[in-house]
Amino acid sequence: MAKRCAVCGKDPKTGNQISHSHIVTKRRWLPNLQRVRALVNGSVKRIHVCTRCLKAGKVKRAI
């Protein structure tokens, strides 16, 4: 599964997880993606969309 929003292009961000003893390990912050049936160029397709785009109404969901 592509971890990228089909509308806005939001993708995973990377950084460091720092413990109490300051041990540093790499980690990823993943976007909250939902697989929805949406109208894309007049046809119905299943796309991965972040919840921010869904809430903002940037996606026309198919019934």
pLDDT score, position 2: 77
Residue 2 has which token pair? 């592509």
d(CA 62, CA 38): 5
User: Which CATH code fits 1-63?
Assistant: 2.30.170.40
Confidence check: pLDDT of 62 > 80:
yes
* pLDDT digits 0-9 by tens, 1-50: 679 999 999 999 999 999 999 999 999 999 999 999 999 999 999 999 99
d(CA 16, CA 14): 7
Domain coordinates in residue numbering, the chain: 1-63
Neighbour tally for 34: CB within 10 Å: 13
Phi, then psi, of 4 in degrees rounded to 5: -140, 135
Torsion from C-alpha of 37, 44, 46, 30, nearest 10 degrees: -70
Flag whether the pTM goes above 0.85: no
